[in-house]
């Protein structure tokens, strides 16, 4: 595209050998999407239907599962359509919507993980005050902030991008992430500064808070009896695994955007696949296997299914 003409449609230019492997891509991604919906929905329903799981820790887990489903639904249907289409295009407005959901839900996951870390901190370090501190109001405030704060921030970024001129119509990727900034005719200092603020408030500060709470949990557990250490390990290990996984995936996304021009198309596609493929499945698998109460009910559910 030449000059300062705005693009109505954006073309995804990150697919590899799509004409040869379109049906293989389609089957793999459709299978993964079905598994994501099934696994997340199963554990969510278990938490929803069992009243003894209506505790803050399990409510935050349910919120993470909802996040994963919406995150995947923002990406997979469009990818599946692209695999079977002659042209992989998206309208600029739909691209901005995908960008908004991609990053607002990603930031929400960091804040939900921070809320879970605080819940574990209060449970292990201040057990007598736990019912008072982690009451229904506190949980609702944490959930509201986790979803509304990133949504407002990313919406502002999307609006800034919507008001900027586009000089390109080919996007070097398979989805609308930060690579959309390369389509603009010129960079914006205001957008860059605001993006830095979003990164700090939605990712770095939650990470620092999580490290602080877990350092306190580690100190208290080390000084306490074996039962306290066992409880801390059972409830905190799944949370840490999810945190490490998600942080690495976010780092992948930054690397893809910042250094994308130095990577081959195949490598960019593989790294993008890491961001969208296994993490939405990782959440339910880890919590289903490592959380004792959830694992116990999953075994009962599938054992009853086999009987019938």
Question: Do the domain assignments include residue 218?
Answer: yes
Question: Do the domain assignments include residue 197?
Answer: yes
Question: Do the domain assignments include residue 65?
Answer: yes
Give the closest residue to 69 by CA, choosing from 283, 299, 266, 290. Answer: 283
Give the closest residue to 191 by CA, choosing from 221, 159, 216. Answer: 159
pLDDT at 290: 67
Question: Do the domain assignments include residue 1?
Answer: no
pLDDT at 203: 86
CATH number at residue 71: 1.20.1070.10
Question: Do the domain assignments include residue 128?
Answer: yes
Expressed as residue numbers, the domain containing 114 is 9-307
Question: Do the domain assignments include residue 69?
Answer: yes
Token duo for residue 233: 């390990």
Question: Do the domain assignments include residue 220?
Answer: yes
From first to last of its 308 residues, the chain has per-residue pLDDT tens of 444 445 588 898 888 888 888 999 999 999 999 999 998 998 898 888 888 888 898 899 999 999 999 999 999 999 999 999 888 899 999 999 999 999 999 899 999 999 988 998 898 888 889 999 999 999 999 999 999 999 999 999 999 888 888 888 888 888 898 888 888 887 777 877 888 888 888 888 998 998 898 888 888 877 777 776 776 676 677 777 788 877 877 777 777 666 655 667 777 777 777 778 878 888 888 776 667 777 777 777 767 655 44
What per-residue string of b and e applies to 70-109 under the rule 16 or more CB within 10 Å gives b?
A: ebbebbbebbbebbeeeebbbebeebbebbbbbbbbbbbb
Q: Could you tell me the pTM of the whole model?
A: 0.87
Strand 170-171 to strand 89-91: parallel, antiparallel, or no bridges (unpaired)?
unpaired
Domain count, the chain: 1
Question: Do the domain assignments include residue 2?
Answer: no
Token duo for residue 38: 């099934």
What angle separates helix 92-125 from helix 136-162, to the nearest 10 degrees? 150
Enumerate residues 6+ apart whose C-beta is below 8 A from 203. 107, 110, 250
């Amino acid at each position: 595209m030449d000059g300062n003409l705005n693009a109505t449609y954006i073309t995804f230019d990150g697919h590899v050998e799509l004409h040869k492997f379109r049906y293989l891509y389609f089957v793999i991604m459709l299978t993964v999407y079905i598994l994501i919906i099934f696994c997340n929905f199963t554990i969510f329903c278990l938490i929803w239907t069992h009243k003894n799981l209506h505790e803050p820790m399990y409510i935050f887990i349910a919120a993470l599962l909802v996040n994963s489903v919406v995150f995947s639904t923002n990406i997979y249907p469009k990818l599946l359509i692209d695999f079977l289409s002659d042209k992989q295009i998206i309208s600029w407005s739909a691209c901005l919507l995908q960008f908004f959901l991609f990053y607002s839900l990603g930031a929400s996951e960091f804040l939900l993980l921070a809320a879970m870390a605080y819940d574990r901190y209060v449970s292990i370090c201040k057990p007598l005050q736990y019912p008072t501190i982690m009451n229904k109001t506190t949980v609702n405030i944490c959930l509201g902030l986790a979803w509304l704060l990133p949504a407002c921030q990313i919406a502002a970024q999307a609006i800034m991008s919507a008001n900027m001129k586009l000089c390109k119509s080919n996007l070097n990727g398979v989805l609308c992430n930060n690579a959309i900034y390369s389509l603009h005719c010129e960079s914006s200092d205001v957008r860059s500064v605001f993006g830095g603020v979003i990164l700090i408030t939605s990712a770095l500060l939650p990470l620092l808070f999580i490290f602080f709470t877990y350092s306190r949990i580690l100190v208290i557990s080390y000084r306490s009896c074996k039962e306290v250490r066992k409880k801390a390990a059972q409830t905190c290990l799944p949370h840490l695994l999810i945190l490490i996984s998600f942080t690495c995936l976010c780092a992948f996304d930054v690397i893809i955007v910042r250094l994308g021009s130095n990577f081959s198309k195949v490598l960019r596609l593989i790294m993008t696949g890491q961001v969208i493929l296994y993490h939405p499945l990782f959440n339910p698998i880890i919590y289903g296997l490592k959380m004792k109460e959830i694992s116990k009910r999953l075994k009962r559910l599938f054992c009853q299914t086999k009987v019938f």
